[in-house]
């Protein structure tokens, strides 16, 4: 898409080079650059001109058509708006940036697994690699990219810590590794003899692939008979919720998760079964009154 726009739209190549450079210097991830540039290129090819040359009503009509064919929460619409917003700020077009709609974030509570469901998933893992993978995702609250990027040199089994490098927002953080995980990692390294990465694979940089991690989690949840709609991030949600239920304070959980602001972590207060008295259903006490 980008190459086509560079070839067909006069001036687009120079615009994209500035855009790419600013994305890199502002610390945006390669996936964000890929998504933004794809949809910026799409709107350029649609109108056969640079996005910066579009009138406000053209942009409005284009976004309106997107909304008619998809919901505002879908990635196509979001990445188009975010990409244009970044581009207009880069080019000093504040008026156009103001005209773009704001996107309301969906206020959905996270899906959380019970402790029994976590144990069932781990039990179903016949491969040592998958057993350790799920244990780390849950036991350290890691994101998919973070578990794939664990370097052997960042595991300190003596201190029981793991250095998570360049998590979301390009921030490093330490997370504790419990005694069970220390033994699990030791056993895995002795058996598998990994090199560089804890989880080696066939990806371009020899890491275990993202699809491989996703497949393992889905497959183990299916084998465990879990009916909830879960993904890799569900294990991270479960980690945070269970820590809160076990009495860890919300600020400490924020630091362990690597969240930039406490508001992001506060969502777990709505799903954790904690407090002065554990929440219950009045139906359980209804017949005790008779």
Residue 281 in this model has a pLDDT that exceeds 80: no
At 143, which helix (H) or strand (E)?
Answer: none
What tens digit of pLDDT does each residue of 110-125 get?
A: 999 999 999 999 999 9
Annotation marks residue 268 as catalytic: yes
Annotation marks residue 46 as catalytic: no
C-alpha to C-alpha distance for 225 and 120, rounded to whole angstroms: 9
Higher pLDDT, 102 or 12: 12
What is each CA distance from 52 to 1, 15, 77, 88, 94, in whole angstroms?
A: 18, 9, 18, 7, 11
C-alpha to C-alpha distance for 179 and 286, rounded to whole angstroms: 43
The average pLDDT across 244-262 equals 90
C-alpha to C-alpha distance for 221 and 121, rounded to whole angstroms: 6
At 10, which helix (H) or strand (E)?
Answer: none
C-alpha to C-alpha distance for 63 and 68, rounded to whole angstroms: 9
Residue 275: count other Cβ atoms within 10 Å of its Cβ: 9
Annotation marks residue 237 as catalytic: no
Annotation marks residue 236 as catalytic: yes
Annotation marks residue 233 as catalytic: yes
From 168, 171, 183, 218, active-site residue: 168
Q: Are 237 and 246 in contact (CB under 8 A)?
A: no
What tens digit of pLDDT does each residue of 170-225 get?
A: 689 999 998 999 999 999 999 999 989 999 987 667 889 989 999 999 999 999 99
Which residues lie closer than 8 Å to 237 by C-beta, 6 or more apart? 110, 111, 112, 268, 271
The dihedral built from the CA positions of residue 259, 264, 266 and 270, taken in this order, carries a sign that is negative
C-alpha to C-alpha distance for 160 and 106, rounded to whole angstroms: 37
95 pLDDT band, cuts 50/70/90, is low
List % helix, strand, coil for the chain (3-state, nearest 5): 60, 5, 35
Q: Are 213 and 143 in contact (CB under 8 A)?
A: no
Task: Report the CATH fold assignment for 115-270.
Answer: hpI Integrase; Chain A (1.10.443)
In degrees and rounded to multiples of 5, residue 173 shows phi and psi of -155, 155
From 143, 148, 237, 254, active-site residue: 143
Dmax (CA) of the chain: 81
Q: Which structure tokens are listed for 243?
A: 């820590």
In degrees and rounded to multiples of 5, residue 194 shows phi and psi of -70, 160
Annotation marks residue 130 as catalytic: no
What is each CA distance from 77 to 37, 83, 95, in whole angstroms?
A: 13, 10, 20
Sketch the domain layout of the chain as residue ranges. Answer: 2-99, 115-270
Higher pLDDT, 279 or 189: 189
What tens digit of pLDDT does each residue of 25-80 get?
A: 887 778 888 889 998 999 999 999 999 998 888 888 888 787 777 554 467 778 88
Higher pLDDT, 118 or 271: 118
Q: Are 208 and 142 in contact (CB under 8 A)?
A: no
Q: Is 184 helix (H, G, I), strand (E, B) or coil?
A: helix
Q: Are 150 and 201 in contact (CB under 8 A)?
A: no
């Amino acid at each position: 898409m980008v190459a086509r726009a560079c070839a067909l739209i006069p001036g687009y190549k120079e615009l994209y080079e500035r855009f790419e450079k600013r994305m890199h210097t502002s610390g945006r991830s390669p996936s964000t650059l890929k998504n933004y540039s794809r949809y910026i290129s799409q709107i350029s090819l649609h109108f056969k001109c640079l996005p910066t040359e579009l009138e406000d009503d053209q942009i409005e009509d284009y976004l309106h058509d997107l909304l008619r064919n998809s919901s505002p929460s879908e990635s196509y619409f979001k990445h188009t708006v975010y990409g244009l917003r970044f581009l207009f700020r880069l080019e000093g077009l504040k008026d156009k940036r103001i005209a773009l709609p704001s996107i309301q974030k969906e206020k959905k509570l996270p899906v959380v697994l019970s402790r029994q469901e976590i144990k069932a998933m781990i039990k179903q893992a016949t491969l040592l690699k998958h057993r350790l993978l799920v244990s780390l995702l849950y036991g350290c609250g890691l994101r998919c990219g973070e578990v794939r990027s664990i370097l052997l040199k960042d595991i300190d089994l003596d201190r029981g810590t793991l250095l998570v490098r360049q998590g979301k927002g390009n921030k490093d953080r330490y997370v504790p590794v419990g005694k069970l995980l220390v033994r699990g990692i030791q056993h895995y390294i002795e058996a598998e003899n990994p090199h560089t990465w804890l989880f080696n694979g066939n990806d371009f940089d020899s890491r275990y692939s993202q699809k491989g991690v996703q497949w393992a989690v889905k497959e183990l949840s299916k084998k465990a008979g879990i009916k909830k709609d879960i993904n890799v991030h569900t294990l991270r949600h479960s980690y945070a919720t269970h820590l809160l239920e076990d009495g860890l304070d919300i600020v400490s959980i924020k630091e362990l998760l690597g969240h930039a602001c406490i508001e992001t972590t506060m969502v777990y207060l709505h799903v954790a079964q904690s407090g002065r008295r554990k929440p219950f259903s009045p139906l359980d006490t209804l017949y005790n009154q008779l």
